Structure 1
Amino acid sequence: MLFNTSNFVTDAAAYTIDAGQRWILFLDTMRRRGLQYEEHIAQSAPHVLDYDADLVCDGRELPRPVNYILALILPPPSVVVDESKRPFVIVDPRAGHGPGIGGFKADSEIGVAMAAGHPCYFIGFLPDAMPGQTIQDVAHAEAVFLERVISRHPKAEGKPCVIGNCQAGWAVTMLAAIRPELFGPIILAGSPLSYWAGVKGQNPMRYSGGLLGGSWLTALTGDAGAGTFDGAWLVQNFENQNPANTLWTKHYNLYSKIDTEVERYLGFEKWWGGHVTLNAEEIQFIVDELFIGNKLACGDIRTADGTSIDLRNIRSPIVVFCSKGDNITPPQQALDWILDLYDSVDEIRSYGQTIVYAVHDRIGHLGIFVSAGVARKEHDEFASNIDIIDVLPPGLYEATFEPKAEADANPDLVTGDWVMRCEARTLDDIRALGGNDLDDERRFATAARVSETNLSLYRALVQPWIKAAANPIAAEAMRNLHPLRLQYELFGSRNPFLSWLEPTANQVREERQPAAADNIFLKAQDMVSDHIVNALDGWRQLAETMSEQTFRAVYGSPLLQSAVGIDPSSPYRPRSAARSKLHDEFVQKRIGELRGGFGRGGLLHACVRALLYVGMAREGVDERSFEAIRRLRKQGEQARRMTLSEFKSLTREQFFMLLIDQSEALRTLPDLLPPDHEARDAAFALVEQVSTARGALSGEAAGRLEEIRAQFEAAPPLGANPPGNLPIAARRRA
């Protein structure tokens, strides 16, 4: 094939003009980013919410002041909020960035919750912590916030649904363990609760604390900051996880798509660059108790009054949303706390706990609560079907989603574009995701002991000198010189060498000449970019491999383990939450109470027991079944008077009866039915309608429905009776 010199020269000329223009527009975007950064940090309460909001409660005015606030999100004119629906409260993470990411666009957690008719509140924070503020103070403030929300919605069916994003998730669960009465369902989006968990070769961030020698460096940073920890260091940790994106891809994507990508880039950078601070005591608690100590799931964290924080005290359903593509909070860190707390699904049920988890295949950490696609699918389904989750029988479930277009049966019962189904799971399903072996647990326990030792040495030998030398002026200068802040400042209004950029960029936009998509130099540019990305990814993988091997070698040393009091030769049992004999006694007492109530109740109790018996054979709940129940509740006078909370209590009582003694629960079922055959027929028709809402029954489920038919003394199914296509009551008379 002959080389076409004419095309080569033409493409070169076009690419040169295009590349030069793109470079000027790229620099101008950096300038706009710098100006946006200056404007953002100059605000007294910077945020990136895309909604108007009214302040409800200012945490700075509480007896124990904190820099947190509670705001009511004002719905757009096109959105109608139903005051009878439970409110949603979105809590953003204070992990180095400012607040608002949970609602910075229409397709967001806040957006889909309001679209489903729920009132929405937002718990955010100001850039600087209040003097002396602690994590426990923040928890007390959030409790006050939830009390305010509950008092503002007396007609709501159910307590608030609280969404905790990333680090806000562990804060929400800690509060829910202390004040369970304040919470409806809890949604944890990308939230780590089991900090040592992960898979070898895949989750390197969990080794960071051990490789740095523990939390002494955290203490040093807080002391050098005169008691203030710069959240930019936390953002830097995120950046370090993906050097290819940090050093190249993020900016190359902007440069290569400069005509379409600018606004999206600036919108994200407004949040990404809004760094906040924490008190040194706050970050020390987070690192010591959670990230290195891993004390949350095993109940080793105590409040100031000595109360142990036991996550088994949570009485609300917990929804865990995580992703295999998340290198910050992998599924193991989001889910393995369940293995730490419970030995079986039966034990989960004994605490009356409902846990639903959903594992995305590929979305990254930020995408869990930022991606528009995730908002339109998972978060939309959670918001639309939150009442289903609230009344699910206790146990462990996985939420799965199938397109509505593939739902052949009763698509009119589907509220969104997806059908959510909660399938029963066991602890083995969580173990199948991978995790640590006993040697890994011993290594992390060794790292935690080493951290405690190094921190004590630092406090005894170094800390007094650092505190004596530190002062607020020097600390402020250090924060301003942080590399992540400098990259914004260098392109800000105080740079005199950029005065030419804005008029030049405006002229370029008027004279823009993008190269054709088939330009050979554009293709070469993409090839070079791919090589750079591959090289940086290779560097990352090498660094991660070396980090993991170093951690395993150092903290797997029998000598080091022995030195910190961990016997390397004895069997090691991972720390787990203590078992309570008092709880066991309570369960036995409750079982006795339930046994005495098998024959007590009425027609509604019988219908719920029947539905549960049939549904248990399918080992899952489909949103269509619940929507059918919701519509039937509106028709029945007794069911209409029953609140969602009462219906939840009734459902759980009947479910536990079936678990305790299924044969006795079925034997006594006719005792709950009225003598009127027509009433029984009508009741069975409702049971049949709900049971088949997700499709025709087969196998064991179909057999169970026939058992219930016999218990209700209903007629046999159509086709089995000569009179043919007649209503149930007519078939009985026939």
Structure 2
Amino acid sequence: MFPVFASFAEATGAFWDPLGAGRAAMSYWRDACERSVLYLDVMRQRGNQYLEHMEQTKPNVLGFDTEVLMDGRQLPNPVNYELMRIIPPAGIDIDESMRPFVVVDPRAGHGPGIGGFKPDSEIGVALRAGHPCYFIGFLPFPVPGQTVEDVVEAEVEFLKHVIERHPETVEKPMVVGNCQAGWQLMMAAALEPACFGPILIAGAPLSYWAGERGKAPMRYSGGLLGGSWVTALAGDLGHGHFDGAWLVQNFEKLNPANTLWTKQYRLYANVDTEAQRYLQFERWWGGHVVLNAEEIQYIVDNLFIGNRLSTAQLMTRDGRRIDLRNVRSPIVVFCSKGDDITPPPQALGWVEDLYDSVDDIIANEQTIVYCVHDTTGHLGIFVSGSVSRKEHAEFTANMDYIDILPPGLYETQVTEKPASAANPDLVDGDYLLEFSPRNLDDIDGIVRNLPEDERRFATVARISDINLGLYRRYWQPWLQAVMTPEAARWIRRMHPIRLGYKLLSDRNPLTVPLPVMAEGIRANRHAVEAGNPFRVAEGMLSDQIERSLEGYREVRDSLSERLFMQIYGQPWLQIMAGLGASEARVLPNPGAQPEHRRFISQRKQEVHASIERGNSHHAVMRALIFVLGGAPTTDERNFQSLKATRAEVEPNIDLTSFKALVRDQFFILKHDSHAALEALPVLLAGESAEAIDGHFAHIEQVVSARGTLDEKSQSRLMLVRKLFDKAKPQAKEEKGTSGSGGSAEPKALQETAPESRAAEQGEPTAAATQSERQAEPPTASKETAKPEHRTPSQRRKKRRTPPSGSSSS
């Protein structure tokens, strides 16, 4: 306690006199009474706002006017979703020829509208950039019988309608999915990839077992409750409906300090300035919606507990596999270390679950970009004004750049534009978007999942199926027989969160004097100064309460994790659940399947056959990718320079064909960079010396856009110069008159791809027949021979020892 008194004395000047202390006490007492009345009046307004919001047929918190284009209730499989066009505010001009921008709202217990909650939101950023914007929202109550698959199909129909509205736009819509909408969008994109442009999933969980010990306590909930039978019970108590307030309550339990104290004390301490912000947020946070019992059961069984989305185990009712490797659009994963609802491991673990290596990602023609914020919380990812002005603004401004990135895995960082940045006119706004190539070891460093933990979660999944079967066999028939719609509505109304809003509203007769008292206080407010010693003591007491609740949370989470690890780490329980003692990996690895390896082999054959096909366009793009591939990072300036000169150098190539050209040449370089470079003179055959010099000048302009080249990129550029010179007509004539039977391979060319040549050892030669390649057993492929082609379990062997201080079985 002595440090507390010392801090108090220091803050108050350390001198006391009876008269001064009395005046300070009276001033504080009057201010505290006034703040208490004003606080209660704000809570009364919150309750009235909640009741008004819940009585609306189509409530949402969108900050923009909208026009309904499609009603999901009119679809063949009706759902409670709508497609709306955002009507731009006055002063904002929309270019209908630009790529459409679609935001899908999360349906995770709260009402719709969070994506357009503020002017500095995802929609606001896109509108200011001139994009036509659309919003996919939902109604409070589901259509009877609607399923998750119905919602996915409805979203596809909505996107098709958006595409039809913009026939002059060759680019597909950029689609943003926040939280729950993120994994739902990924399901839709896996089934109908042709409808999607770049996909931004913000704070969206896709890998539900992933996580680092000591963090992400929500992933243990299913196991500690015995599985999804509790979800079925809640659905039966709701007479076929699941109250979203239960989901909101789970979110609030993650941070008891904020829920029980900090949020409310912040309002009380700053009630003169905080009221409007608090009411605006509570309008969305308290807008609880309802899901069908079938929907939430599907989500809990297949995603939260089963983890089947990230391992390609989900099947639609018509037999289609939901495989995220089918997504052909660039995927931008935006997550944050400060997010306790969707931590980075759960946002990125699916990459490790699906792929053996970055080569596997490239062979599937996928571009995956991830951005990890350092501090913002879950809601801040898509609500915070600072995040929207920085990260979301850069993603929106550079979506064409993201769309043209070659297949692979990248990490992106948004940094302030340096005052001394080269070519600052090529940077859009005050921030610079940079991309750095990454591999699966970088993802593994974020996910940090352990094989023994996978076995625990797999045990939970099987125990959950057993308990759910028992519940459905012995308890569910009785409960469904006695529950009525009226009883279900009464249970929803009595939910503690809902009661908290209703009890402090005008429906409570005790609140009648509050508005009159609050009005009088606001007219003659006596706010105490910040240096008042009692006000300082109040803040110190609040800090102590907050720290105590934080301590409680840490102890609770630690005990929960330890209990989970002890129970589900028992070998006998794992064996009883059907997990063999010798199974190294309990999750199927789609990338290790024989048919997938045959696909990779066939893809390589196709790429190899196209090395010498093409013209100068292919040569220029191949050279550009080669030179930029020598740099550790690339940024938007390279793309802006390329886009600015494309119309002059390549006027007959539209943007869609241009993006396909980039991807094809990247594949060729990745497959055999040595042969790809040797083929440059062949692609330039027939070009004049002046044309070849013009092509090289174009390459120099693009690669130097971000500033001075490093030594490696400079040497690559010089090699390209030599190869382009070799293609000039006079060079060929000199070669013909020299009498040499062949040309010596340039020394620089020998140094470019030693790894590529090593990788080719043991591979069939170019003269090998296709039947010989197909007859080659999958185990002889270089994926299994190269050390970087490791399964996730192999990559995690170095993590088998838990971090110090973590619990284990």
TM, length-normalised to structure 2: 0.86
Structure 2 residue matching 1:516: 3-state secondary structure: coil
- Describe the superposition over 1:421-465 as per-residue Cα deviations: whole angstroms up to 9, x where unpaired: 111000000111242211111111111111000000000000000
- Describe the superposition over 1:487-511 as per-residue Cα deviations: whole angstroms up to 9, x where unpaired: 1111222111111111211111111
8 A Cα contact 2:337 2:376, kept in partner: yes
Determine which of 702, 715, 720 is the counterpart of 1:703.
Answer: 715
Structure 1 residue matching 2:418: 3-state secondary structure: helix
Q: How does 1:686-725 map to 2 (within 5 A)?
A: 686-713=698-725
8 A Cα contact 2:355 2:591, kept in partner: no
Name the structure 2 match of 1:194: 207
Determine which of 389, 404, 415 is the counterpart of 2:428.
Answer: 415
Alpha-carbon distance change, 609 to 422 in structure 1, aligned in 2, over 3 angstroms: same
8 A Cα contact 1:684 1:714, kept in partner: no
Alpha-carbon distance change, 491 to 350 in structure 1, aligned in 2, over 3 angstroms: same
Alpha-carbon distance change, 572 to 315 in structure 1, aligned in 2, over 3 angstroms: closer
8 A Cα contact 2:62 2:116, kept in partner: yes
Structure 1 residue matching 2:619: 3-state secondary structure: helix
- What do you get for the CA RMSD once the two structures are aligned? 1.6
Q: Does 1:114 align with 2:92?
A: no
State the distance in 2 between where 1:405 and 1:616 align: 23
Q: How does 1:82-231 map to 2 (within 5 A)?
A: 82-231=95-244
Determine which of 367, 374, 378 is the counterpart of 1:361.
Answer: 374
Q: How does 1:32-431 map to 2 (within 5 A)?
A: 32-406=45-419, 408-431=421-444
Query: What is the Cα deviation at residue 257 of structure 1?
Result: 0.9
Q: Which runs of 5+ in 1 are unaligned?
A: 716-734
Query: What is the Cα deviation at residue 284 of structure 1?
Result: 0.2
Structure 1 residue matching 2:402: 3-state secondary structure: helix
Structure 1 residue matching 2:102: 3-state secondary structure: strand
8 A Cα contact 2:422 2:705, kept in partner: yes
Q: Does 1:651 align with 2:693?
A: no
Determine which of 679, 694, 699 is the counterpart of 1:668.
Answer: 679
Matching residue's letter, 1:341: L
8 A Cα contact 1:315 1:352, kept in partner: yes
Mean CA deviation greater in 99-108 or 487-496: 487-496
8 A Cα contact 2:61 2:117, kept in partner: yes
8 A Cα contact 2:61 2:114, kept in partner: yes
8 A Cα contact 1:297 1:576, kept in partner: no
Structure 2 residue matching 1:525: 3-state secondary structure: helix
- Describe the superposition over 1:379-420 as per-residue Cα deviations: whole angstroms up to 9, x where unpaired: 111111011111100000001122013451111100121100
Q: Which runs of 5+ in 2 are unaligned?
A: 1-13, 728-809
Name the structure 2 match of 1:460: 473
State the distance in 1 between where 2:384 and 2:657 align: 36
Matching residue's letter, 2:463: V
- Describe the superposition over 1:252-292 as per-residue Cα deviations: whole angstroms up to 9, x where unpaired: 00111111111111110000000000000000000000001
Q: Does 1:516 align with 2:529?
A: yes
State the distance in 2 between where 1:261 and 1:234 align: 26
Identity %: 54
8 A Cα contact 1:438 1:574, kept in partner: no
Matching residue's letter, 1:250: K
Structure 1 residue matching 2:538: 3-state secondary structure: helix
Name the structure 1 match of 2:445: 432
Q: Does 1:14 align with 2:43?
A: no
State the distance in 2 between where 1:452 and 1:596 align: 50
State the distance in 2 between where 1:437 and 1:588 align: 31
Structure 1 residue matching 2:547: 3-state secondary structure: helix
- Describe the superposition over 1:122-167 as per-residue Cα deviations: whole angstroms up to 9, x where unpaired: 1100000000011111111111101100100112241111111101
Matching residue's letter, 2:205: P
Structure 1 residue matching 2:70: 3-state secondary structure: strand
Structure 2 residue matching 1:396: 3-state secondary structure: strand
State the distance in 2 between where 1:213 and 1:29 align: 40
8 A Cα contact 1:70 1:145, kept in partner: yes
- Describe the superposition over 1:67-123 as per-residue Cα deviations: whole angstroms up to 9, x where unpaired: 000001111122222222211111111000000000111111111111222111111
Alpha-carbon distance change, 421 to 51 in structure 1, aligned in 2, over 3 angstroms: same
Query: What is the Cα deviation at residue 569 of structure 1?
Result: 5.6
State the distance in 2 between where 1:195 and 1:628 align: 41
Q: Does 1:499 align with 2:490?
A: no
8 A Cα contact 2:104 2:136, kept in partner: yes
Matching residue's letter, 1:347: D
State the distance in 1 between where 2:121 and 2:508 align: 36
Structure 2 residue matching 1:193: 3-state secondary structure: coil
- Describe the superposition over 1:342-384 as per-residue Cα deviations: whole angstroms up to 9, x where unpaired: 0100000000000000001111111111111111111111111
Query: What is the Cα deviation at residue 656 of structure 1?
Result: 1.1
Query: What is the Cα deviation at residue 195 of structure 1?
Result: 0.2
Structure 2 residue matching 1:405: 3-state secondary structure: coil
State the distance in 2 between where 1:434 and 1:183 align: 27
Name the structure 2 match of 1:725: none
Query: What is the Cα deviation at residue 205 of structure 1?
Result: 0.7
8 A Cα contact 2:346 2:447, kept in partner: no
- Describe the superposition over 1:628-659 as per-residue Cα deviations: whole angstroms up to 9, x where unpaired: 111112434x43x4222211100011111111
Determine which of 569, 579, 584 is the counterpart of 1:556.
Answer: 569
TM, length-normalised to structure 1: 0.95
Matching residue's letter, 2:334: F
Structure 2 residue matching 1:214: 3-state secondary structure: coil
- Describe the superposition over 1:27-69 as per-residue Cα deviations: whole angstroms up to 9, x where unpaired: 1111111111121111110000000011010001111110000
Query: What is the Cα deviation at residue 580 of structure 1?
Result: 4.8
Matching residue's letter, 2:271: I
Mean CA deviation greater in 283-292 or 71-80: 71-80
Query: What is the Cα deviation at residue 573 of structure 1?
Result: 4.5
Alpha-carbon distance change, 391 to 2 in structure 1, aligned in 2, over 3 angstroms: closer
Alpha-carbon distance change, 187 to 570 in structure 1, aligned in 2, over 3 angstroms: closer
8 A Cα contact 1:297 1:577, kept in partner: no
State the distance in 2 between where 1:570 and 1:344 align: 22
State the distance in 1 between where 2:15 and 2:479 align: 71
State the distance in 1 between where 2:15 and 2:368 align: 66
Query: What is the Cα deviation at residue 570 of structure 1?
Result: 4.9
Structure 2 residue matching 1:491: 3-state secondary structure: coil
Alpha-carbon distance change, 568 to 11 in structure 1, aligned in 2, over 3 angstroms: farther
Structure 1 residue matching 2:429: 3-state secondary structure: coil
8 A Cα contact 1:323 1:365, kept in partner: yes
Matching residue's letter, 2:678: R
- Describe the superposition over 1:210-245 as per-residue Cα deviations: whole angstroms up to 9, x where unpaired: 000000010011011100000000000001100100
8 A Cα contact 1:229 1:278, kept in partner: yes
Determine which of 614, 619, 629 is the counterpart of 2:642.
Answer: 629
State the distance in 2 between where 1:87 and 1:365 align: 26
